[in-house]
Amino acid sequence: MVEAASEIFNLMESNHCCPDAQTFNALIDGFCKRNMVHQAMAQLNEMLKRKLSPNVVTYNSLIHGQCRAGHFDSAYRLLNLMKQSGLSPDQFTYSVLIDTLCKKGRLEEAHALFDSLKEKRIKSDTVIFNAFIDAYCKVGKINYALALFGRMLTEACLPSSYTFSALIDGLCKEKRMSEATLFVEKMRCTGALKEGDFDRAHTIFNEMVSAGNQPNVITYNPFIHAYCMLGNINEAERVMIKMNEEGISANSLTYTFLIGAYVRMGLIDGAFNVLKRMFDAGCEPSRRTYSFLIKHLSDEKLVKANSNESGLDIISNVSSSDITDIWKTMGFEIALELFEKMVGHGCIPNMNLREKLGSGPDAIWSYERYRYFSE
In a domain? residue 26: yes
CA dihedral of 28, 34, 38, 40, whole degrees rounded to 10: 0
Q: Are 125 and 91 in contact (CB under 8 A)?
A: yes
Asked if residue 302 is part of any domain, the answer here is: yes
In a domain, 255, yes or no: no
| Proportion of the chain above pLDDT 90, given as a percent | 48
pLDDT for 190-240, tens place per residue?
A: 888 888 899 999 998 888 888 888 888 988 999 999 999 999 999 999 999
What pLDDT band is residue 26 in, cutting at 50, 70 and 90?
A: confident
The Cα 79–Cα 88 span in angstroms is 9
End-to-end Cα, the chain, rounded Å: 58
Residue 220, domain member (yes or no): no
What DSSP line would sit under 115-167, residue for residue? HHHHHHT----HHHHHHHHHHHHHTT-HHHHHHHHHHHHHTT----HHHHHHH
Alpha-carbon distance of 321 to 326, in angstroms, equals 8
Fill in the DSSP letter of residue 311. Answer: H
pLDDT tens per residue across span 142-176: 999 999 998 888 887 888 889 999 999 999 999 99
Report the amino acid identity of residue 171: L
pLDDT at position 311, please? 45
Rounded-to-integer distance, Cα 90 and Cα 172, Å: 35
370 inside domain: yes
Q: Which of 64-68, 78-82, 297-301, 341-345 has the lowest mean pLDDT?
A: 297-301
Phi, psi of 350 (to 5 degrees): -115, -175
Domain boundary among 82, 112, 142: 112
Rounded to whole angstroms, how far apart are CA atoms 100 and 315? Answer: 39
156, 252 contact by CB (below 8 A): yes
Number of domains in the chain: 2
Phi-psi region of 45 (alpha: psi -120 to 50; beta: other; left: phi over 0): alpha
pLDDT at 166: 94
pLDDT score for 92 = 93
Final residue of a structural domain among 112, 141, 175: 112
Please state, rounded to an integer, the average pLDDT across all residues of the chain: 83
Report the 3 state secondary structure along 167-225.
Answer: HHHHHHHCCCHHHHHHHHHHHHHHHHHHCCCHHHHHHHHHHHHHCCCCCCHHHHHHHHH
Burial class (CB in 10 A: 0-12, 13-18, 19+), 90: middle
Per-residue pLDDT at 2 exceeds 70: no
Q: Which of 112, 138, 161 is the last residue of a domain?
A: 112
Question: By C-alpha distance, which of 9, 10, 68, 84 is closest to 36?
Answer: 68
Query: So what's the pLDDT on residue 325?
Result: 61
What is the predicted pLDDT for the residue at 307? Answer: 62
Instruction: Tell whether the model's pLDDT for residue 83 goes beyond 90.
Output: yes
Q: How far is CA 19 from CA 25, 57, 235, 296, 349, in A?
A: 10, 16, 53, 37, 49
User: Is 64 within a domain?
Assistant: yes
Tell me the CATH number at 12: 1.25.40.10
Asked, for residue 309, whether it belongs to a domain, the answer is yes
C-beta atoms surrounding 121 within 10 Å: 14
**What is the tens place of the pLDDT at every residue in 254-312?**
999 999 999 999 999 999 999 999 999 999 898 889 889 988 888 887 777 766 554 44
Specify if 224 maps to a domain: no
Q: Is the pLDDT of residue 13 over 80?
A: no
- Percent of the chain predicted with pLDDT > 70: 83
Structural domain for 84, as ranges: 1-112
